[in-house]
Amino acid sequence: MKLVWFRRDLRTIDHTALNEAIRSGEPVCAIFVATPEQWRQHDMAPIQADLIARRLPVIRHELRQLNVPLYYREVSDFAASVEVVVALARQLQADTVLVNIEYELNEQQRDQQLKQCLQQQGIAYQACHDKCVFSPGQVLTKQGEFFKVFTPFRKAWQAQFIVPTVVAPSPAVSAPSHDEAKLSNVCEYFSYPRESSHAWPVTSDEIRDWLRAFCREGVDAYHQQRDFPALSATSGLSPYLAIGALSVRQCLARLYQTSEHGRLSAGAESWLNELIWREFYQHLIYFQPSLCQGKNFHPWGEKLYWHDASEALARWQQGMTGYPLVDAAMRQLNQTGWMHNRLRMVVASFLTKDLHIDWREGERYFMSRLIDGDFAANNGGWQWSASTGCDGQPYFRIFNPVSQGKKFDPEGAFVREWVPELESLSNKWIHEPWRDPSVNYTSYPQPIVDHQVERKLTLSLYQKAKDNSCHDS
């Protein structure tokens, strides 16, 4: 008997651990363990919890078609989850527990504990690399070290890349009778707070159709339209990658299958680049686990002086900074659980370099709201924006929220959608309403700061932090 522990890999197609278990020729069972207290510590968004809860009955049905029963358990945290998995393995007389590896520090420690507990019971532990095309350690510099800058990582990654083949699993040998949880009613006992995720379908057919439609109809223009938030020009697949309802190999296989003679268009190359960024950040947290402990990638970042500005943070969170593009983006996040990628950079730059608030505050808030919250990608994006991360660009890259709005929302369509107080403004003033004397500031605030003033302060603070770091070394 093989027992597969499902975590953030909620699919049956292209699931490495499941395929390995079925390939053994023995009966297979599966388990999912909800850990609400651990999720709370990790700031999981209620909308993502809802997506997971809605996805579980789908997985249960698909596994049943493969003769694999799915058990459901709910405990407080990772330590308790190990105990229930080991107990179920003993109850089923399983000889092996299989998992797909997660690279975050707490998850690594949980699986090390699992391995030790299983060994004490005489049960084998099999860990499979599944989340990335290339697992950490497969893409290294010529000196055998991990890459700290994206562009050379991408080149080395692409030099090894072979288009993956994705096949559906065959049914397993029927398992003996069991007390499988009734996941069709998972909402009755899935206790973590939830917000509706129904804008995102959860069946595998719907998700694959979404992927196919994007690769067939949207990806070729991706490089030209992806930065314009008023357009539906991004893939929208990030929530499924975040919970593992879709694998990166499925994305790549479909991308190349719809390309012309295996040659990617400029738009397809641009989307491929984003998928490689995702892998880059996964590799980073594996090789530098201090990133999972709130540390800056560059040590000099610890010398930065951050403002303790709770009112400014609250106004940023609420979308009431007086900068329309920033506010529209934050309201989109608060109301939908998702934010356009260009705007993630804009609002992160604004928090760290206009308000001088610690990037960790933004990282935490994003995780608490995002349906596609993924620790590695979120941490990497925030440190990139704060210039404390692995980025070849110097710290004086500071996004101007007005010029970003004029460039990427020139007609103000996105701002008008999310900041209706400004709906009547002309295109000329939509991104700087303080210059329009007709604006009623009882409904929309004056700018919380002067961008040009704060930009100069940022340059001074960052230079001081780097100088102080040099003096200490």
Q: What share of the chain is helix, strand, coil (3-state, %, to 5)?
A: 55, 5, 40
Alpha-carbon span 133 to 247, nearest angstrom: 9
Alpha-carbon span 358 to 300, nearest angstrom: 14
Alpha-carbon span 102 to 106, nearest angstrom: 9
Classify 302 as helix, strand or coil: helix
Determine the length of the chain. 473
Alpha-carbon span 266 to 222, nearest angstrom: 8
C-alpha closest to that of 458 among 380, 367, 361, 388: 388
Phi then psi for 471, rounded to 5 degrees?
A: -65, -35
Paired sense of beta strands 2-6 and 28-34, if any: parallel
Dihedral of alpha carbons 125, 131, 132, 136, sign: negative
Q: What is the DSSP letter of 321?
A: S
> How far, CA to CA in Å, does 297 sit from each of 281, 390, 464?
11, 6, 18
Q: What six digits make up the tokens of 387?
A: 């210039």
Kindly list the catalytic residues.
274, 277, 306, 341, 359, 382
